[in-house]
Structure formats: C-alpha cells, structure tokens
Structure 1
Amino acid sequence: MAAPELPVVLVVEDEPAQREVLAYNLEAEGFRVARAENGEEALLLIEEETPDLIVLDWMLPSVSGIEVCRQVKSKSDTRGIPIIMLSARSEEVDRVRGLETGADDYVVKPYSIVELMARIRAQLRRVRPAAVGGTLEFGDIRLDAESHRVYRAGEVLKLGPTEFRLLATFMEKPGRVWSREQLLDRVWGRDIYVDTRTVDVHIGRLRKALCRHGGEDPVRTVRGAGYALG
C-alpha cells in the first residue's frame, strides 16, 4: 500500500490507453491514482475519495468534463480541488470556457507528459505542499517535508511518522476542523481499519511533542466535530 499521506490524483479519461499512460506516469512520480472512464463515475469517485487533484478530459460520454468541473466547483466541500482540463480544443474561446467554468489549468492534446507532470506538481504545491516536499509555517512552527523535520521556536521536535503526517495535514489548512474520520482517511489511509480513538491517542502525542520546549498548545479540540490547528 502506498504511504497514506501521498496525494490522490483522479484521472478522468474515456480512452483506456491514455488513461493508463497517465496513471502509470503519476504512480511513477509517487502519487496514488484513482481512475474514471466517464463523467458519472468521476462524480461518484470525487464524492467517495475527495481526491487532491483531478486530471479531467473535456470530451466524456454521458456527463462532459465541463459539467463535471462545474459541479465540483459549485460545491463548498470540493471547490478547492484543483482541476487540470485536458482537451483537443485549442481555440482561445475553448480555453476561456474551460477556465471560466472553474478549471485551474488547461492543457491541449496532444501534450507532453513531462510538462503535464510539472503542471500537476505545481498545482499540488499549492494545496498539498507537505506532500510534494514543501515547507510549511504556522506561528513559530516550521515543517520541512523534504528533510522530514519539524522546528518550534528554532528547537528541533522529535515526531513519530504518524504525528508528522497529522501535523502536516493540520498545517496545510490551518483553522480547518478535521473530523476523526477525515484524519483517518488522510493520515492512515482508507485501506486499513483503525479505530477513531487511535486518532485521539496520536493527537495527544503530537500535543506533547509540540509543547516539549514550552509554548501554548496550538491544536484545538472542537467538541463534537474534531480537531483544528489554531
């Protein structure tokens, strides 16, 4: 099983060969990949998986890529997911339509896989910086994902791998309240069973590590909802 902290990229492409080429290259880059061959399947997967990024073909059977994009961007819980639209339509009016519908980037077919991978990484740096080797800061806390180190007020903190992933999740979206179930999906992954009480145990360990050298506890408990940073 891939490390649960890795970003999930949903590839929506009705051409099997193109879909598998994209999936192969994404997996080679270390991403987890979900696949959909039409718009209806894509919308169901988006609801179930909540991917970190969507690579979306314009021309799809049943529900078009444009309509999938419109629906994703119209919902508060999914509008933040970056969408890279793929299309053979190269006219300016088509690019404008795709971007105005909510796509974050627009790539014309045929495209360079190397360039597309670079565009995907650029979008993921914006929404999942810790997962692609970025550095995150919140107050006096700094998380360096590339070196896998965490500092608070200049002091190095010793965190276990689970606590590191928890902190990275919090620091990518400060202020957001995460339920225990959402943290289980993001930090432990969907493929294994972990009791929700395990989240509380690791939150306790994270809090202890963060406050080891002094300072206030930055992790907030939201009664009946979950946890948030700040």
Structure 2
Amino acid sequence: MSTHFYETRLGHGLPHDPFKAIVAPRPIGWISTVDAEGRVNLAPYSFYNAFNSNPPIVGFASEGRKDSLQNIEATGEFVCNLATRPLAEVMNRCSAPLPHGVSEMEHAGIEAAPSSLVRPPRVANTPAALECRLLQIVPLRDLEGQEVDTHLVLGQVVGVHIDRAYLVDGIFDLRAARPIGRCGYRGDYAEMGEMFEMFRPRGPRPR
C-alpha cells in the first residue's frame, strides 16, 4: 500500500490540512454559558467529547480565549446542547463573530429554556442537554513544553434533560434525534448514519 507520509512540523504538502478530516466525525459541543452579568453566549465547538462515565465528564477545547471559556472561568457552569440535523442551520449561525455580550440565541432566533441546576439556559428544542459544572481548565502544551493558545475545559454533568419524544422503551433514540458531527475542512458535516451492534468478547472462564 502506498501512503502519503509527512512530519507535522514540516507541513503536509497538500492543498488543505487533512488532520481534522482524519479525526472525524467529531461530536459538536454546542455550549451555552452566561457571563458574570448574566448575558447568554451559545457557541459550537467541534473538539468536544465525553471522557468519563461515572461520574459523567465532558470536555471541549477552546482555540483562543473565546467568550465561552471566559464565561466558564467566571461562573463555573455550562450546558452542552445536542446538535442535530434539524438544528444544524441555527447552530451554524451561532458561530458568527458577534460582538462580546450579544446573544447568539437571539441572533439565531433560538428559543431558550431554563436549566435546573446551573445558570446558563439550554436550547429549548434540542433532544438532549447536559448541565455541567466546571472541574478544571487545562492549558495545552506542545512537545517543547510551550503553551499553545488552546484550553481544554472539563466539566462534570450534574443534570440531564431528554425530550420524552426521543425515549423509546426507556432508551434514547439516536436515529430519531439525528445528531451531526464535524468532518473537517471548511464546511463538512455528517449526520449519523447506519448503526450496528457489536459486543465486547468475554474473557476466559475461570477454572
């Protein structure tokens, strides 16, 4: 098999950087926060995922000191709203470079719903939302030990909202929710496609 190999420090030699397309699809953290004055911010982050199940921990990386990061530093709280295909267009409008203090929810015409345990509101018509409290903010470093302008925000999920329309026999219906993921390059996204089951193999029986 012939491969195109490159050292990242020397550049990829391709028309566009393939890194974000290779690590894909990536879940989208649609993060709602409030600042110290209670002004709402809502922004999508494609470097987002779950990192632990008990307790449930999620995290996202902010490249640069954006409003979401600063708001979480000030309040210690945020909400992760599930980004889905029906909400994709309004989610994308939340990525517009608005002035500080201007609400992306209002800009995109998104209805807000109150959270139960944290101050930031959630997106009212998302199938699911995770209320989170800040655990830690980790400045990322490179191999030389130099800080890069990216901060990993880790939060513990303290409350979960699920639209009952997406609960089928007590199971969250991902097919009906239609979550989307980021696929790299400038505007590539994917909607969750076919699902299949595959279980872990069992270990050897004890003698």
Same fold (TM over 0.5): no
**Structure with greater proportional helix content:** 1
The structure whose RCO (Cα within 8 Å, separation 6+) is larger is 2
- Smaller-chain TM-score bracket: under 0.3
**Structure with greater proportional strand content:** 2
TM-score (norm 1): 0.22
